[in-house]
Amino acid sequence: MSTTAATSAEISHPSQLPAVDKVLLAAEMQPLREAYGLDACTKAARTVLTHLRQQLLGSADQPGQPVQADLTSIVQSAQRLLQARFAPRLQPVLNLTGTVLHTNLGRALLPQAAIDAVVQAMSSPANLEYDLQDGSRGDRDDLVESLICELTGAEAATVVNNNAAAVLLVLSTMAMGKEVIVSRGELVEIGGAFRIPDVMTRAGAKLIEVGTTNRTHEKDYAGAISEHTGALMKVHCSNYAITGFTKAVSDADVAGIAHDHQLPMIVDLGSGTLIDMRDWGLPYEVTVRETVESGADIVTFSGDKLLGGPQAGIIVGKKELIAQIK
Ligand SMILES: *Cc1c(COP(=O)(O)O)cnc(C)c1O
């Protein structure tokens, strides 16, 4: 920007301030107008002038004061406002929390090959919902379903907006107007917005809590089953742990009880992992594949927690149920 020698003037009355138009026509303003557009520049100039006027006039508890200002300094102030307003909102940070994957600070990082694929997909039209073989409308799930099934061992899969939506959709499809049995120790709240009891209500299902906070037995599940039962459900205690005198029933055993009564078993895995974390020296986490193998009919997990993809919820499980959910 040109640096016209500024004769910084002392201004003691608002009438001495330049008009907005004059600020917008200043030589130094022209590159800003080109970069940010006239509307944003007008707004910024007005904000600077209003602020100076307030300083000059003062307020009830602060008397007015003269200000040092001229066209150049006013444009510079406007430039600072514009730079702040147009700065990227999402900023890199250093994660020193001690939590390796802190969801307030982004998601798991993607490998370069995945980043390249994202950039490619966003840079040109693609066959997102078009079947190139048939030359007709396609289904976006076709692009990923077989891959998700290969990774998880599930019969079928679909992808929705997030895992919260996945749970809502699964419950409303499989248990609307019916009862869903969940252990008291698994009635979690995640990040303040997602609470199992509330999601259950929203889905039109009735929550039947069984067991106690620290201990739930097979007989608790079995004893709660009635003609009104729609499903048995297990929820991953993502952000807390119950330790000490505890007992939980395994996925396989809950699935066994459900199937003995011709009922489906649902698991909300939360983050979900596709790989054995112990291979990376991290604590064991049940994988999606193991959960499917344990007999769960439907498993939901997040596409953007440990899997650092775009916000998504992934639903895998029995073909027939996935078809209904879709
Ligand atoms: C995180 C989480 C959710 C919500 O997943 P989003 O993808 O963030 O919507 C639901 N259930 C459990 C157990 C979770 O940990």
CATH number at residue 280: 3.40.640.10
| pLDDT recorded at residue 136 | 96
Distance 218 CA to ligand 1 centre (A): 26
Q: Among residues 86, 104, 121, which one ends one of the domains? A: 86
159 lies in the same domain as 71: no
Q: Which domain holds residue 61?
A: 9-86
With the most atoms of ligand 1 within 8 angstroms of its CB, the residue from 102, 103, 190 to mutate is: 190
Which of 288, 178, 187 minimizes the C-alpha distance to 234?
187
Same domain, 194 and 265: yes
Q: Is 125 contained in some domain?
A: no
- Which residue numbers in the chain have pLDDT < 50? 1-6
For residues 70 and 30, what is the distance between their CA atoms, to the nearest angstrom?
17
Question: Quick one: tokens of 36?
Answer: 């940010």
Cβ proximity of 227 and 263 under 8 Å = no
Give the Å distances, CA to CA, from 17 to 41, 46, 50, 79, 116: 17, 11, 10, 18, 52
Give the residue from 53, 78, 80 showing the smallest Cα distance to 66: 53
pLDDT value at position 225? 98
Site to substitute for ligand 1 among 268, 286, 288, most atoms within 8 A of C-beta: 268
Does the Cβ of 248 fall within 6 Å of ligand 1? no
251 belongs to a structural domain:
yes
Same domain as 174, residue 293:
yes
What is residue 100's predicted lDDT score, i.e. its pLDDT? 83
Tell me if 103 is assigned to some domain.
Answer: no
- Amino acid 272: pLDDT: 93
pLDDT of 232 reads 98
Residue where one domain finishes, among candidates 86, 104, 127: 86
Q: Concatenated DSSP letters for 110-154?
A: PPHHHHHHHHHHHHS---TTEETTTTEE--THHHHHHHHHHHH--
Same domain, residue pair 179 and 312: yes
Number of domains in the chain: 2
The whole-angstrom separation of Cα 145 and Cα 140 is: 9
Q: Is the CB of 300 under 6 A from ligand 1?
A: no
Q: Which helix (H) or strand (E) element contains residue 152?
A: helix 141-152
94 inside domain: no
Instruction: Please indicate, yes or no, if residue 93 is contained in any of the structural domains.
Output: no
Tell me how far CA of residue 54 lies from CA of 17, 48, 59, in angstroms: 12, 10, 8
Q: Which atom of ligand 1 is nearest to the CA of 188?
A: 13
Q: Is residue 80 part of a domain?
A: yes
How is residue 297 written in tokens? 């009919």
Residue 116 lies in a domain: no
DSSP state of 256: H
- Predicted local confidence at residue 173, as pLDDT: 98
CA–centroid distance, residue 270 to ligand 1 (Å): 5
Measured at the CA of 270, the angle between CA 291 and CA 228, to 5 degrees, comes to 70
Output the pLDDT for position 7: 55
Q: Is 272 in the pocket of ligand 1 (CB under 6 A)?
A: no
What is the rounded CA–CA span in Å between residue 323 and residue 326?
5
Same domain, 57 and 191: no
Residue 151 and residue 70 in one domain: no
Q: Bridge-partner residues for 301, per DSSP?
A: 314
Residue nearest ligand 1's atom 15 by CA: 270
Residues 61 and 146 in one domain: no
The finding on whether 164 has its CB within 6 A of some atom of ligand 1 is yes
